[in-house]
Chain A
């Protein structure tokens, strides 16, 4: 399953908690529109690098699909930043 949202949460002392939901699924729209160009570029790059385009696309698709669940939290001096991919 591809990532649908990225949640960015920022907490700072003396500030209200700021949480931003980034709708990653909306990236499908430009991606689909540009897909012919992207496909040509990917195939060209793979041929130059002597890599199978199918394997390359498969690997990148697998990475994209396994991104949900990734979480990074940094806390320092009362500041708190959290990025979560759902």
Chain B
């Protein structure tokens, strides 16, 4: 465990700080990056340096007609990129005998994927390129649902 984090937890356990203060201190140790990831500096030769995205953010705004709940509903999910990387490693645990069944199921849904051809390095590449993805979906014909997916 990080030494600073341990100290904060010890102070919280010892009653020296409140839970709110501990949360603020822990958040300060791991500051959330700004909403738009992009370029944050330049190299000595003036070339932009790209920061590595830490989180995948999914924002959903739905109105009453979609949810059946009065007023607007907002869902905001932040997933660490590290969790996505760890998640794709699970794909390598799928037993070989299950590959054919999964491939058939994908094909029936019109997704031509052969799982056995996907290697861990492909999945890593996929996650890396996810950092460049921004998805914006706006509802039409009176449907006010909005979905936004981006990395930050």
Binding site for B on A (CB under 8 A): 1, 4, 7, 19, 21, 49-51, 55-56, 58-59, 62-63, 65-78, 86
Contact = CB atoms under 8 A, between A and B. Distances in A.
Contact of A1 (B2, B79, B89, B97): B2
Contacts, number: 85
A78 B71 CA distance: 9
B97 A59 contact: no
B85 A19 contact: no
B95 A50 contact: yes
B95 A77 contact: no
A66 B85 contact: yes
B76 A77 contact: no
29 contacts: A1-B5, A4-B1, A4-B9, A19-B19, A21-B19, A50-B95, A59-B86, A62-B85, A62-B86, A63-B83, A63-B86, A63-B87, A63-B90, A65-B82, A65-B86, A67-B80, A68-B30, A69-B30, A69-B54, A69-B80, A70-B79, A70-B80, A71-B76, A73-B76, A73-B77, A74-B75, A77-B69, A77-B70, A86-B26
Interface residues of B, number: 35
B23 A71 contact: no
Query: B-side binding surface: helix, strand, loop or mixed?
Result: mixed
B65 interface: no
